[in-house]
A and B are shown apart, each in its own frame.
Chain A
Amino acid sequence: MKIVIIGASAAGISAAKTIKVAEPDTQIVVISKEDSIHSRCMLHKYLGHERDAKGINFVHENFFAENNITWLKNTTVVDLDTDKKFVRTNDNQAIYFDKLLIATGASYFIPPIPGLREAKNVYGFRDLKDAQLLDSECKTAKNAVVIGAGLVGMDAAVALLERGLKVTVIEMMNGIMGLQLDEKSAEAYQQLFEEHGAEFLLSDKVTSVNIDEAGKGRTIHLASGKSVCADVIVIAAGVRPSFDFVEKSDIATKNAILVGDDLQTNIKGIYAAGDVIGISGIWPNAMKQGKIAAINMLGEKLRYEDRYALKNTTNFYGLTTLSLGNINPKPKESFDVLIREDRNNYQKVVMKNGIILGVIIQGNINSTGFWQYLIKNKIDVSGIDKDVFDLSYADFYKVDSISGEYLYAI
Chain B
Amino acid sequence: MKRIIIDREKCDGCLNCNVACISAHEEGSNFYTVNLGSVDSETRNFIKFDAKTGYTPIFCRHCDEPECVLSCMSGAMEKDPVTGHVKYDESKCAACYMCVMNCPFGVLKPDNKTRTKVIKCDFCEEKQDGPSCVKACPKQAIEVKEVSR
Contacts and interface: CB of A to CB of B under 8 A. Distances in A.
B139 interface: no
Residue of B5, B6, B102 most packed against chain A (CB within 10 A): B102
Given A313-B96, A367-B108, A394-B50, A318 B6 contact: no
Contacts of A405: 3, 61, 63-64
B24 interface: no
Contacts of A287: 70-71
A157 to B, nearest CB: 16
Interface range, A side: 35 or more
B105 A393 contact: yes
Contact of A42 (B94, B101, B116, B145): B94
Main secondary structure of the interface of B (DSSP, over half): loop
Contact of B5 (A312, A318, A404): A404
Interface string B60-100: 01011001001111110000010000000000101111101
Contacts of A370: 104-106
A283 interface: yes
A328 to B, nearest CB: 19
B46 A367 contact: yes
A56 B105 CA distance: 28
Given A370-B105, A394-B58, A403-B147, A283 B95 contact: no
Residue of A369, A370, A390 most packed against chain B (CB within 10 A): A369
B96 A367 contact: no
Contacts of A367: 46, 58, 100, 106-109
Contacts of B81: 21
B144 to A, nearest CB: 10
Contacts of B145: 404
Nearest to B55: A394
Contact of B56 (A10, A291, A394, A403): A394
Interface of B: 3-6, 8, 46, 48, 50, 52-53, 56, 58, 61, 63-64, 67, 70-75, 81, 92, 94-98, 100-110, 114-116, 145, 147-148
Given A320-B110, A369-B104, A395-B52, 8 more contacts: A10-B73, A57-B75, A315-B110, A315-B115, A322-B97, A365-B97, A372-B101, A393-B105
Q: Which 5 A-B pairs have the closest CB atoms?
A: A284-B71, A394-B48, A369-B103, A367-B106, A366-B109
